[in-house]
Amino acid sequence: MSQLTAAGISSHDASVEVRQIILETLGKTPTQLLLHSGNLSAADTRRIDARIARRATREPLAYILGERWFYGMRFMVTPDVLIPRPETELLVELALAHVQQCPSENPSILDLCTGSGCVGIAILANHPATTAVLTDLSPDAIAIAWQNAELNRVFERCQLIVGDLDSDIDPAETFDVLTANPPYIDPDDIETLAIEVRDWEPELALYAPDAGYALYPRIAALALTRLRPRGLLAVECGHTQAGAIADMFAAAGLTNIKIHSDLAGIPRVVTANQP
């Protein structure tokens, strides 16, 4: 643990993370670890020490372990994708609330900037009648999303596309829900970020021009053509951006615009409807 605290990780977080490293390395539950008797093997000790050493470089724990839980589901993650975060689960909740009331028997989802695929895949897993198209500009991200779709047994109901937003989707195809967690960090704010984010997570998924707002007007325009009547648009944003994005959506002609806060009370998701 001292390695991690020396690297600037709080003692509480260091304790929790060392325990998680031990559990994941040994493949044991907390109860099994408590009941474990005897010394660790030399091989297990080396593996644990190697992972702790990696964490001491401030490499995110999710990348070290190769996975992250999101919406009660396991997702594979690598440095090619953003690490799924609890606040992004709000996108899933809002999308599911809409599809559960959708008149279509087989609601369809378009998830832009999908990364690991966590949003689109979680929606599919929790509403078995849905289908989805997941897109990302990064081929490496789509490769991870593909594996996660298989891991969570929704692969047959989703299509994964490498492309710039909807660039490679049939122009005539429309959807009941459009979700997006686009890059929204202002490149000028890079030095304010945690080391784990700044030095390890993919820049393509983090930063956007125009103070982080670059993709939102494009997504609003897509919602007008890609969503079916009264379809839902739901996008994640930074903690100071929701009001400006709501104004963009109104200017684009979208209706019923709402700002939703995450569990920490931070304005996190903006929704709107196709007129």
Percentage of the chain modeled with pLDDT above 70 = 97
Q: Domain extents for the chain?
A: 2-57, 79-273
Confidence of residue 63 (pLDDT cuts 50, 70, 90): very high
Chain centroid to CA 83: how far? 6
Beta strand pairing call for 227-236 and 175-180: parallel
Full-model pTM = 0.94
The pair of structure tokens assigned to 172 is 């005539």
Instruction: Compute the distance between CA of residue 60 and CA of residue 75 in angstroms, rounded to an integer.
Output: 15
Q: Mean per-residue pLDDT for 35-62?
A: 86
Phi, psi of 239 (to 5 degrees): -70, -15
Instruction: Compute the distance between CA of residue 38 and CA of residue 64 in angstroms, rounded to an integer.
Output: 26
CB 272 within 8 A of CB 254: yes
Say which range, 14-28, 59-73, 179-193, has the weakest mean pLDDT: 14-28
Predicted pLDDT of residue 32: 67
**Cα atoms in the 13 Å half-sphere on the side-chain side of 184:** 20
Predicted pLDDT of residue 178: 98
Predicted pLDDT of residue 35: 64
Give tens-digit pLDDT for 65-88: 999 999 999 999 999 999 999 999
Instruction: Compute the distance between CA of residue 16 and CA of residue 233 in angstroms, rounded to an integer.
Output: 37
pLDDT of residue 181 exceeding 80, the answer is: yes
Predicted pLDDT of residue 4: 85
Give tens-digit pLDDT for 145-170: 999 999 999 999 999 999 999 999 99
Q: Which residues, other chains included, contact 135 with Cβ-Cβ below 8 Å and sequence gap of 6+?
A: 110, 111, 112, 113, 114, 142, 160, 161, 162, 163, 165, 166, 168, 169
Predicted pLDDT of residue 25: 86
Q: How many helices (H) and strands (E) does the chain have?
A: 12, 9
Instruction: Compute the distance between CA of residue 206 and CA of residue 257 in angstroms, rounded to an integer.
Output: 25
Q: Mean per-residue pLDDT for 234-245?
A: 97
Output 14 or 98, whichever has higher pLDDT.
98
Q: Which residues, other chains included, contact 27 with Cβ-Cβ below 8 Å and sequence gap of 6+?
A: none
Mean pLDDT of all residues in the chain?
Answer: 94
Say which range, 26-35, 206-215, 237-246, has the weakest mean pLDDT: 26-35
Output 105 or 37, whichever has higher pLDDT.
105
Confidence of residue 36 (pLDDT cuts 50, 70, 90): low
- Tokens 């609003």: give the residue: 220
Q: Mean per-residue pLDDT for 192-204?
A: 96
Predicted pLDDT of residue 61: 96
Other C-beta atoms lying within 10 Å of the C-beta of residue 191:
6
Is domain 79-273 in CATH 3.40.50.150, yes or no?
yes
